[in-house]
A and B are shown apart, each in its own frame.
Chain A
Amino acid sequence: MSPQLIWTAFSTIFRREVRRFTRIWPQTLVPPVITMSLYFVIFGSLIGSRIGEMGGYSYMEFVVPGLIMMAVITNSYGNVVSSFYSAKFQRSVEELLVSPTPNWVVMAGYVLGGVARGLIVGFIVTLIALVFTSLSIQHIGLTVLIVFLTSVLFSLAGFINAIFANSFDDISIIPTFVLTPLTYLGGVFYSIELLSPFWQGLSKLNPVLYMVNAFRYGVLGVSDINVGWAFAGVLVFIALLSAWALHLMSHGKRLRH
């Protein structure tokens, strides 16, 4: 396919993905907004006022970047895993498989669809956060870049989960038993400086910690970890997951006979 045809195919997939999650906005855009608003009220405002400072900032200021990142991660992942698995379940994925669209374009279309939802939800959550606290972003470029790359990474993970999934149970297992613990223990609600050296060391094996802290560094200018490592780690994981997803697609894993 020529670059023009590839662009048309990619934009068609992307547009369809955006159309899907905006069509069902009460399921896709409203719930994370309500959940995050409750986090802001309970953890940030009610309990946070009794906690005092965290990392040199009020607890509300500290927790806001983590909650925005949590919303971006879960929505990016959730969008791709549910959309691609639904396409498999309804067999509408065959529309793409029988067409000349290359595998990498299919992957890119779905992943960028997930990124679009992740960023839209992240933006709405940011607006809600402004009701509770003021945000003066320290490093705007770095903030945008890390949130974008994190969204790409978790959209890719959702895509791979959907390829392997054989049932709707399979698309909820990873978010429930892997993604949620990693996110909650990834420095969203606390600084790892509060932990003993053993648990600090263990926490540093959690990739979400690096992304949350890189984002927090972009917003507040403070981080528990080296931000350079965070970017390098995210880029390496994106490369590895992209290669894995394309390998699965080219071998037709659970897509072709």
Chain B
Amino acid sequence: MTAALSIRDLQKTYDNGFQALKGISFEVQPGDFFALLGPNGAGKSTTIGILCSLVRKTGGSVSIFGIDIDKDFPKAKQQLGVVPQEFNFSQFEKVFDIVCTQGGFYGMPRKLAEERTEKYLRKLGLWDKRSTQARMLSGGMKRRLMIARALIHEPRLLILDEPTAGVDIELRRSMWEFLQEINAQGTTIILTTHYLEEAESLCRNIAIIDKGDIVENTSIKSLIKTLSREVFILDTREALRDAPDFGDFEGRLLDEHSLEITVEKGQSLSDLFALLTPQGISVTSMRNRANRLEELFVSLLAENKQQKSDDAGEGQEAQS
């Protein structure tokens, strides 16, 4: 099956000599919901910039649904919709005009562009604002406007660069539902985000990029499996004066209704409950102390940093 996106040895060195991408490779399969994660300056936006032609690559190859961007970029662009990180529409144009005009840039007849504009503005809750100048919209509405604009030509691959940055929780949830809906309808989605909970909730596969290199590329499930320990917060029905017996588990009493317990690889939650129940402790709810993916993300970046400093040390030794 032809990959929705195939990136091979992609490199970018800016004019000032900064090497933003050092030869990254990964693939995204059709229908996937894919997360591209990395700290600030890792190379995520450079990668997206290359895909949509705002940044020129200095090496490697990119194919979108089998169309090599070096051979037929206009055709490849027809398959692609991009929601950038920063607002990039005319602040003085009306919402309807911004979306409808974008359809024209993709060669859509005016009538079709108007129909699609109405469809996506309604879906994203912006129809009532169609005659409003873009500058009058709230931050969340502006983000939704950019999503509507990116969907006007119904691309097969949608790339969203931190679409929920600065968006309140309620709106973020509704955007997640919308993205899941269009993904279920067949649109391949690539998402960059700083909210790791978002990536874990929405995405099936993931690539983590750091300092221009891919440090991990796998499924979210596989990545979560590599966690050696997880820390849970348990809320109890009864008030606890003293910490109960935790057996082989590492735990502590946080307050009279909460326990913090670490579950190591090989231990099970069933064993934990079997230990607590005879002590008269009923657990009413439980949650991860920190986002699981966040823990992995931090540890992967730390490993990458350590690896790089080891390599640099070896290099210096070799020179001396």
Contacts and interface: CB of A to CB of B under 8 A. Distances in A.
Given A87-B90, A92-B90, A256-B55, A100 B78 contact: yes
A131 B73 CA distance: 55
A90 B53 contact: no
B308 to A, nearest CB: 25
A12 B105 contact: yes
Interface string A85-108: 011001110111111111000000
Nearest to B20: A257
B115 interface: no
A87 B98 CA distance: 13
Given A6-B107, A19-B97, A102-B74, A91 B102 contact: no
B101 interface: yes
Given A90-B88, A91-B86, A95-B149, A12 B54 contact: no
A95 B88 contact: yes
Contacts of B88: 90-92, 94-95
Interface in A95-149: 95-102
B107 A8 contact: yes
Nearest to A87: B90
A41 interface: no
Interface residues of A, number: 31
B149 A100 contact: no
Interface string A1-43: 1101110110111011001000100000000000000000000
A108 to B, nearest CB: 14
A201 interface: no
Interface string B41-58: 000000001001111100
Contacts of B97: 16, 19
A252 interface: yes
A9 B54 contact: no
Interface in B92-135: 92, 97, 101-110
B82 interface: yes
B105 A99 contact: yes
A99 B102 contact: yes
A97 B89 CA distance: 12
B107 A98 contact: no
A15 B87 CA distance: 23
Contacts of A97: 52-54
Interface residues of B, number: 34
Contacts of B110: 8
Chain A CB count within 10 A is highest, among B75, B101, B102, for B101
Contact of A8 (B75, B108, B149): B108
B54 A8 contact: no
A13 B105 CA distance: 8
B288 interface: no
B84 A1 contact: no
B134 to A, nearest CB: 9
B101 A12 contact: yes
A90 B106 CA distance: 21
B89 A98 contact: no
Interface string B180-212: 000000000000000000000000000000000
Interface string B1-45: 000000000000010000000000000000000000000000000
Nearest to A10: B104
Contact of A100 (B103, B106, B109): B106
B76 to A, nearest CB: 9
Given A91-B86, A92-B88, A95-B149, A101 B56 contact: no
Contacts of B309: none
13 contacts: A2-B107, A6-B107, A9-B106, A12-B104, A23-B92, A86-B90, A95-B88, A99-B102, A99-B105, A100-B73, A100-B106, A256-B56, A257-B56
Given A8-B104, A86-B90, 13 more contacts: A1-B107, A5-B107, A91-B86, A91-B87, A91-B88, A92-B90, A95-B101, A97-B52, A98-B82, A99-B102, A100-B73, A100-B107, A257-B55
Interface of A: 1-2, 4-6, 8-9, 11-13, 15-16, 19, 23, 86-87, 90-92, 94-102, 252, 256-257
Interface of B: 14, 49, 52-56, 73-75, 77-78, 80, 82, 84, 86-92, 97, 101-110, 149
Instruction: List 8 A-B pairs, minimum CB-CB distance, nearest first.
Output: A12-B104, A5-B107, A100-B74, A99-B105, A91-B88, A98-B52, A92-B90, A257-B55
